[in-house]
Structure 1
Amino acid sequence: MGIILGLLAIIVVLGIAFLLSNDKKNVNYKGIGIMLVLQLLITWFMFSTQIGRVIINTIADGFNKLIEFGTEGINFVVGGFEVQEGGVFFFNVLLLIVFFATILQVLTYLKILPTLIKWVGTALSKLTGLPKIESFNGVNSIFFGQSEALIAIRSQFHHLTDNRLYIVSASAMGSVSASIVGAYIQMLPAEYILVALPLNMFSALMIASVIAPVRVPKEKDTVDISNVTNDKSVFEAMGNGALEGGKIALIVAAMLIAFIASLELVNWLIQLIFAGVTLQEILGYILAPIGLLMGIAPGEVIQAGSIMGTKIVTNEFVAMLEFQPLMETMSEKTIGIVTVFLTSFANFSSIGIIAGTVKGIDSEKAASVSGFGMKLLIGSILASILSATIAGLFL
């Protein structure tokens, strides 16, 4: 029964995307089918085979080792503080972003990541028929944040039509940055977060390719990685990475303060009219039907839906913090589905981040992003639902 509901959820998600499509006649069905099969194979391999479990556990162990290294740096700086039981979220979780961002910056300077991303993107383009820029950006979005992923293709922005701009923006919103994966792993199970990374890449490209189909001449489809960084040495890359990571940590901290406080304010206002009712509960009931299709148990679907809804109206960090204490009472399947859903930037604030980034690159194209902002959010939510549903089929 769970498999039937999951397949129905996939059909519903792709059906909604098709209804939103700008050009229904030119949808790349072959490419979408190939990406769906790749999603199923990757998830099956990671969750259902011994080799896959070893691989994902090894990657998780690698991230945990990096977290240990990062923690040493954090303890050196703030180890003298006396904190209450459970520690301080900013110290224990967010400051790890500084170390992870530094590693990514160094790997970028050494051209290790750009070269890897280019070749994987090229292979994906040949396999699916997607343009190279869109494929490159899809893979790039696994490693870098929304702004950084778009900036990496700034030299190709003049080639992007509105539909192509939609696809690269959707990839940026539908994925997460590797620089904050270490922070996520501190809160939720590592295996589900790591599986979500490739699933989200495919889901974002699939949904965006249905909503905004493209056909691109070869001369307008080149990827240039020669100017992905302005760093002149490894030490400059380390310094810039640390500064960027510190900025991200402070931004996330500021957003958490604002969103959590605002959520409390909204709940207080709601309870002036409906005693005991919260925004999270309302969102839980709204998302319950799709939660059931995704594979969440009926007895857990309201709570799970409230967490997913919280992520959409605030951000993934707020939702993860609320989800942590609930995991003890939930099944492993629900934990996996919700964790995969939360591992993306699909929320209202991301529209502004992407529009601001595009404006900094090409002010004329920023108007296009603002115009399809809500469609971008809906597409990204559909992509998160698709990834979580695929994961649920194998849990």
Structure 2
Amino acid sequence: MDPEPVNFVTSALLPILLIVPLFDILSYIGLMPWIIKWVGRGLSAVTRQPRFESFFAVEMMFLGNTEALAISKAQLQAISARRNATVAIMSMSCVSAALVGAYVQLVPGEFVLTAIPLNCINALLVASILYPVPVSEEEDTIVTVGGADGGGHEVDAEAVARYEALPLRRRLVTRRPDAPEREPFFSFLGDSVLEAGKVILIVLANVIAFVALAALIDRLLALVSPGLSLEAILGVALFPLAWLLGLEPSTAYDMSQLMGLKLVTNEFVVMGQVTSSIGGLADHYQAVLTVFLTSFANFSTAGMVVGCFKGLVDEERNLIVARNVWRMMLSGVLVSLLSAGMVGLFVW
């Protein structure tokens, strides 16, 4: 089994131990749900997608998929199983802001920075096409600690009316009568740290299993014919799509082989192979290749996403995510191709 994807994933998972408790604290004090609610509402008006999904597309652009999923546990547990599958499909097309600096050292930085917001938009678009899920206005809510959209236990309507009548400065320091009850802070924080550790272990186990399965398939294919591998097969299958990006047939074949390698390993493996030669390639080829590589879409990421849901949601939600792994992989490829095609239209 190639250790490179596992080593990369291990280093990528470690920030969860810091990021998840930090964002859980922001959720505990009510700041994170407020940001999701209002930023998501603005994005939803533009994208015509639910508030949480719209915000998640931007969130994963900066944090990465596992971190964004881990800090969204309460929301994932509250939304329907099919909406969980939509989020999983979107998760294949993210990057982490922490890795952008490494990307721009290997491939042209202007195309990396262009790919990131394009992937965000196209992830929403492709997910809504591959797995459309109607969401009513009543379902489009944002969960807070203890309730949704600030809702909580039943209270006297008169108490709520008195609170609403207070001046703004008083309301900022006065607890809402209908605010949900919360567990003690340090108990909440302890649970958050334990959940983060559990997610890391589950995700790592799933990634090892996915990478090992890919390695096993490669070994079996090599028994059939020396030199035959999963990435080579994917490269041939992806050749027509690479050719449609406006490349010459020979160049399109080279790119399709790199595309197949990226799906089986990860973007760093391919970027490392092309970093010494990409400066000498035609501008159009540089653009489409760099944009296609700038995402986490590969088999190990599918393992990360499935493992993350396994540690965050119940069996029903996890099952529907697992059933849609093929949609996750297809979405990752389509989003990367769509982003690369859009950039390729303007770079020749």
Kindly indicate whether residue 332 of structure 2 is the aligned counterpart of residue 380 of structure 1.
yes
CA contact (8 A) 1:133 1:223 kept: yes
Which residue of structure 2 aligns with residue 174 of structure 1? 93
Kindly indicate whether residue 251 of structure 2 is the aligned counterpart of residue 332 of structure 1.
no
Once residues 384 and 136 of structure 1 are traced to their aligned partners in structure 2, the CA distance between those partners, rounded to angstroms, is: 20
Which residue of structure 2 aligns with residue 321 of structure 1? 272
Once residues 21 and 278 of structure 2 are traced to their aligned partners in structure 1, the CA distance between those partners, rounded to angstroms, is: 34
Structure 1 unaligned spans of 5+:
1-93
Which residue of structure 1 aligns with residue 119 of structure 2? 200
CA deviation vs aligned residue, 1:100-143 (integer Å, no higher than 9, x gap): x9899989978998876654432120123211111111111111
Which residue of structure 2 aligns with residue 135 of structure 1? 54
Structure 2 unaligned spans of 5+:
1-9, 147-184
Following superposition, the deviation at residue 96 of structure 1 comes to 11
CA deviation vs aligned residue, 1:311-342 (integer Å, no higher than 9, x gap): 11122222222232341442121121111111
Following superposition, the deviation at residue 293 of structure 1 comes to 0.9
Which residue of structure 2 aligns with residue 184 of structure 1? 103
Once residues 72 and 340 of structure 2 are traced to their aligned partners in structure 1, the CA distance between those partners, rounded to angstroms, is: 28
CA contact (8 A) 2:243 2:249 kept: yes
Structure number with greater Rg is: 2
Q: Which of 340, 344, 347 is the matching residue for 1:392?
A: 344
Q: Which of 288, 297, 300 is the matching residue for 1:349?
A: 300
Q: Which of 364, 368, 371 is the matching residue for 2:323?
A: 371
TM-score (norm 1): 0.60
Aligned length in residues: 294
> AA paired with 1:393?
L
Following superposition, the deviation at residue 207 of structure 1 comes to 1.0
Kindly indicate whether residue 42 of structure 2 is the aligned counterpart of residue 123 of structure 1.
yes
Once residues 316 and 372 of structure 1 are traced to their aligned partners in structure 2, the CA distance between those partners, rounded to angstroms, is: 22
Once residues 34 and 105 of structure 2 are traced to their aligned partners in structure 1, the CA distance between those partners, rounded to angstroms, is: 29
Distance 1:118 1:198, change over 3 A: farther
Once residues 113 and 156 of structure 1 are traced to their aligned partners in structure 2, the CA distance between those partners, rounded to angstroms, is: 11
Whichever structure has more helix as a proportion of its residues is 1
> AA paired with 2:273?
E
Distance 1:378 1:102, change over 3 A: same
CA contact (8 A) 1:281 1:302 kept: no
CA deviation vs aligned residue, 1:60-82 (integer Å, no higher than 9, x gap): xxxxxxxxxxxxxxxxxxxxxxx
> AA paired with 1:307?
L
SS at match of 1:217: coil
Which residue of structure 2 aligns with residue 155 of structure 1? 74
> AA paired with 2:342?
I
Once residues 207 and 355 of structure 1 are traced to their aligned partners in structure 2, the CA distance between those partners, rounded to angstroms, is: 19
Following superposition, the deviation at residue 98 of structure 1 comes to 8.4
CA contact (8 A) 2:33 2:143 kept: no
Distance 1:95 1:121, change over 3 A: same
CA deviation vs aligned residue, 1:218-269 (integer Å, no higher than 9, x gap): 2321224779xxxx9xxx9xxx9xx99xx99xx8xxx89x979x87x98788
CA contact (8 A) 1:193 1:340 kept: yes
Distance 1:338 1:371, change over 3 A: same
Following superposition, the deviation at residue 372 of structure 1 comes to 1.3
> AA paired with 1:168?
V
> AA paired with 2:329?
L
Which residue of structure 2 aligns with residue 82 of structure 1? none
The 5-angstrom pairing of residues 1-395 of structure 1 reads 119-224=38-143, 280-363=231-314, 364-395=316-347
CA deviation vs aligned residue, 1:264-320 (integer Å, no higher than 9, x gap): x98788677656666655443322211111223333111111111111112222222
Distance 1:210 1:268, change over 3 A: closer
CA contact (8 A) 2:112 2:291 kept: yes
Following superposition, the deviation at residue 202 of structure 1 comes to 1.1
Following superposition, the deviation at residue 371 of structure 1 comes to 1.2
Q: After alignment, is 344-353 or 193-202 more displaced?
A: 344-353
